[in-house]
Amino acid sequence: MDLGLQDCKALVVGASKGLGKACAKSLAEEGARVFICARTTEELKRAATELGAAAYCAADVSQPADVKRVVGEAIAALGGLDCLVTNAGGPPTGPFEQVGDGDWEIAFRLNLMSAVRLIREALPALKASGRGRIVNLTGYGVKEPMTDLVVSDSVRAGVTVMAKTIASDLAPYGITVNNIAPGPIMTDRLSEILSARARLLGVAPEQQFKRLAETIPVRRMGWPNEIGDLCAYLCSPQAGYITGQTIVVDGGVNRSI
C-alpha cells in the first residue's frame, strides 16, 4: 500500500534508537522527509546517516528551551511540518514506596511536559499544513498499570488524557492526534526493565525474558518495526478518520477493554 507520505515533513523525537528510530525509519521508507532529534550527538549522527534523515539536531526535550529550538530548526529545515511524533526515554523504574520526588519530577518533565511543549510549539505549522498528524509514543501500562512502572504509567496517562482532549479541539484543522501504547517490544528499555526485575527475583535476565514471552498470547516479544509501521500509517492520509485513540500493540497481553 502506498501511504501517500512522499515528501511529507515529519519531526520524530527521541529517534537515535529504539521505537523513535523505528518510527523515523518507517516514515523515511514511505518517502517522508524526516527531521530527527535525540540527546546523544554521536548516536544521533549515526541514526541520521542510516535513515537518510533530511536533518537532525541534538536536544534534551525535558528542557523548554531545547523544545522551542528543535521545533524551530525542524520547521526551517523542512519548510513546514506535517507530522509530529513525540517520544522520550523511559523514566526511573521502581515500586511506589521506592521512588522519590526526584523520580516523579524527571518523569513529569521528560514524558509529560515534553509532549505538551512539542505539540504547543508545532501547532501553528501543523495547522498551516491542513493535514497535520500528531502521534505520541506512550506505553501499554496506561491501560493496565504495573507496580514497578508506577511513575511511567502515571505520567504517560497524562499524555493519554491530554491527547484525547485536544483531538476534538484540533479536528477542525485537519489534525489528528493519536497515541501508540507499546507493550513488550525488543528495545534497550525493555532489557533495562526486565534486567531490574530479574535482579529483584534473583534470576538470570534470560529467564525473565522467557517468562514474559510465555505470558504473551502470540508467544513472542514485539519488534520495533511493528511500532514504526503503525506510526507511519497513523501519519498517512488513509488514517484521517482515526483520532483521539490509544492503540495498544502488545501481542494481546493486555486484558483491558
**Hey, what's the cell of 200?**
529483584
Q: Are 55 and 171 in the same domain? A: yes
Strand (E) or helix (H) holding 250: none
Please indicate, yes or no, whether residues 177 and 190 belong to a single structural domain of this protein.
Answer: no
- Same domain as 207, residue 96: no
- Tell me what the pLDDT averaged over the chain comes to: 94
pLDDT of amino acid 20? 97
Same domain, 180 and 158: yes
Q: Is residue 208 part of a domain?
A: yes
Q: How far apart are the first and last CA of the chain?
A: 29
255 within domain boundaries: no
Best CA proximity match to 44, nearest among 32, 59, 29, 31: 59
On whether residue 254 sits in a domain, the answer given is: no
Residues 216 and 227 in one domain: no
Tally of domains in the chain: 2
- Is the separation of the CB atoms in 14 and 85 below 8 Å? no
Mean pLDDT confidence for 87-96: 87
Instruction: Classify residue 99: in a domain, yes or no.
Output: yes
> What CATH code is carried by the domain that includes residue 129?
3.40.50.720
User: CA separation (Å) from 71 to 96, 142, 200?
Assistant: 34, 27, 41
207 and 174 share one domain: no
On whether residue 1 sits in a domain, the answer given is: no
pLDDT digits (tens, 9 = 90+) for 36-89: 999 999 999 999 999 999 999 999 999 999 999 999 999 999 999 999 999 998
Could you tell me where the beta strands, DSSP code E, fall in the chain? 9-13, 33-38, 55-58, 83-86, 133-137, 176-182, 246-249
Q: Which residue range(s) make up the domain with 72?
A: 9-184+223-248
Examine the domain organization and report whether 106 and 180 are in the same domain: yes
Residue 213 pLDDT: 87
Tell me, yes or no, whether 147 and 206 share the same domain: no
157 and 228 fall within a common domain:
yes
- Look at residue 206 in the predicted model and tell me its pLDDT: 83
Answer yes or no: is 234 within a domain.
yes
Q: 167 and 148, same structural domain?
A: yes
Long-range CB contacts (< 8 A, 24+ apart) of 129-132? 129/9, 129/80, 129/81, 129/82, 129/174, 129/175, 130/173, 130/174, 131/82, 131/174, 131/175, 131/237, 131/240, 132/81, 132/82, 132/83, 132/84, 132/170, 132/173, 132/174, 132/175, 132/176
pLDDT, tens only, 136-146: 999 999 998 98
pTM to 2 decimals?
A: 0.94
Residues 195 and 178 in one domain: no
Residue 174 lies in a domain: yes
Q: Tell me if 216 sits within 8 A of 250, measured CB to CB.
A: yes
